[in-house]
Amino acid sequence: MFQRQNQAPADFDSPLMSERIVPSRDAIRSWFPALSNEFAYLENAGGSQVPGCVANAIRDYMLTDYVQLGAGYAQSQRATQTVADAHAFAEQIVGAGTAGKVVLGNSTTALIQIIAGSYADIWTPGDEVVVAATNHEANAGAWAKLAQMGVVVRIWDVDPDTFQCSLESLRALLNDRTRIVAFPHVSNLLGEVVDVSAITELAHAHGAKVFVDGVAYAPHRTIDVEKWGVDWYVFSWYKVYGPHMAALFGRHEAFAELTGPNHFFIPRESIPYKFELGSISHEGCAGLLSLRDYFAFLAGEPWKGRETVIRAFEGIAELELPLQVRFLQFLRQKSHVRIIGLGAETEQSVGTISFVHADLTPSQIVAEVDQHNIGIRYGNMYAVRLCSSLGIELEEGVVRVSLVHYNTPEEIDRLISVLDKVL
Ligand SMILES: Cc1ncc(COP(=O)(O)O)c(C=O)c1O
């Protein structure tokens, strides 16, 4: 009855597949119905496209198992299993191992608010938080708001020349009242991958925990919360080829300090449920769960859990890097262009590339590009504190081009040929 598209190819067991071979871009794109036309999606940091299997799984779930969880009949048992499996899958994606659990929710913004609100219940005036200026507002405002109850909010400034928040400046902000250091793994404007382990180690040495916004990192590289030692790590599925949902990893010790906001009669040990307010999107769980098929395809092997995730993201990084290098090399030739960020032509940056022009406004540049079936955008991308620190006008912001592994060299060349005339 349901027409399925883009299911896992049948030839997983072919001998070629046992070596690590990154699938062709054509094969990858055939999983994404939205990519079958001429439009170049280069605004992926805003949200990625979904493989057909995600949309199909949501539809199938809604038309078969769309019932409440926890009852005895078959549909309810299947629905319960889907939601449990989605949590287990999310734990494999972040590499939780035995270190902690994953809460699912509507959005990264909502999940951060839930955790900040839970800390507000136990913190006292004079406790401190450090908030990186490079944050998207989601991981800044929720903490800054706690100033109302007497929490001291310290801003971890960005160096306008290096675009980095340095370890030295963090060290100067930490003291024995610091409770949380909130920072992005990758800024959604700057694209640089920061050293999460080093920051975490420094914060822990002062008795503070870290809350890492992994939203701009997660579509591009393997998350490894256990290895990095982070306390909290959050990302949004809709930027990682899935539906509008988010996932938050928390270490057991971090959860243990807090009482989640769910109803009083739900035991505080009931993690993640104590932190999932009301019903999460069960159909979204079905959708994100089907990403196992897509990651297995990328990895060239049947789904094996965490090891498939790692292989899939190795392939993703390999596909993205040449595109990012090509575009950065073009931009560097333009004397009136200033790249906002390190713009590393290595895996130290992801393909999220922002720039401004000496004479043209970001809106003028994007208006030209809009006419050529290419999607990019301009603005502050809700990184308002970062834009203010860098002296970037908030309304116009920057021009941002953001690519992922399904983009093609041809798309980048099309964008370059349009921008070449404009810039
Ligand atoms: C770096 C970063 N953090 C947080 C968010 C907010 O995510 P959500 O829409 O899931 O709340 C975004 C959204 O663009 C983002 O880019």
Using 50, 70 and 90 to split pLDDT, how confident is the model at 20? low
| Residue from 139, 188, 233, 381 to probe ligand 1 pocket by mutation (most atoms less than 8 Å from CB) | 188
Query: Quick one: average pLDDT of 177-188?
Result: 98
Report pLDDT for 10. Answer: 35
**Ligand 1 atom closest to the CA of 138, numbered from 1:** 4
Q: Are 390 and 400 in contact (CB under 8 A)?
A: no
Q: What is the CA(326)–ligand 1 centre distance, in A? A: 26
Report pLDDT for 21. Answer: 81
**Is this structure's pTM higher than 0.85?**
yes
| Residue from 109, 211, 217, 385 to probe ligand 1 pocket by mutation (most atoms less than 8 Å from CB) | 109
**Distance, CA of 321 to CA of 315 (rounded, Å):** 10
Q: What is the pLDDT of residues 273-328, one digit of tens each?
A: 999 999 999 999 999 999 999 999 999 999 999 999 999 999 999 999 999 999 99
Q: Hey, what amino acid is at 54?
A: V
Residue 261 has pLDDT above 50, yes or no: yes
3-class secondary-structure state, position 289: helix
Domain 98-254 has CATH 3.40.640.10: yes
**Distance, CA of 101 to CA of 122 (rounded, Å):** 21
Q: What is the CA(388)–ligand 1 centre distance, in A? A: 18
Q: What is the CA(95)–ligand 1 centre distance, in A? A: 21
Ligand 1, residues at Cβ distance < 6 Å? 107-109, 136, 138, 184, 188, 213, 215-216, 236, 246
Name the closest-CA residue to atom 9, ligand 1: 107
Q: Are strands 232-236 and 152-156 parallel, antiparallel or unpaired?
A: unpaired
| Residue from 48, 107, 136, 211 to probe ligand 1 pocket by mutation (most atoms less than 8 Å from CB) | 136
Write down the domain spans for the chain: 98-254, 319-418
Name the closest-CA residue to atom 13, ligand 1: 46
What is the percentage of the chain residues whose pLDDT exceeds 70? 95
Residue 382 has pLDDT above 70, yes or no: yes
Q: SS3 sequence, 199-227?
A: HHHHHHHCCCEEEEECCCCCCCCCCCHHH
Q: What is the dihedral of CA 265, 270, 275, 279, to 10 degrees?
A: -70
Q: What is the CA(47)–ligand 1 centre distance, in A? A: 9
- Token look-up 């990264």 returns 108
**Ligand 1 atom closest to the CA of 382, numbered from 1:** 14
**Distance, CA of 225 to CA of 99 (rounded, Å):** 8
**Ligand 1 atom closest to the CA of 244, numbered from 1:** 10
Q: What is the CA(402)–ligand 1 centre distance, in A? A: 14
Please give the C-alpha separations between residue 97 and each of 159, 221, 226, in angstroms, as whole numbers. 35, 18, 7
Q: Hey, what amino acid is at 270?
A: S
Report pLDDT for 11. Answer: 36
Helix pair 52-64, 282-289: axis angle to 10 deg: 140
Please tell me the CATH code under which domain 319-418 is placed: 3.90.1150.10
Q: Are 109 and 138 in contact (CB under 8 A)?
A: yes
Name the closest-CA residue to atom 14, ligand 1: 46
Residue 4 has pLDDT above 50, yes or no: no
Report pLDDT for 1. Answer: 29
**Ligand 1 atom closest to the CA of 106, numbered from 1:** 10
Handedness of CA 68, 74, 80, 83 (dihedral sign): negative
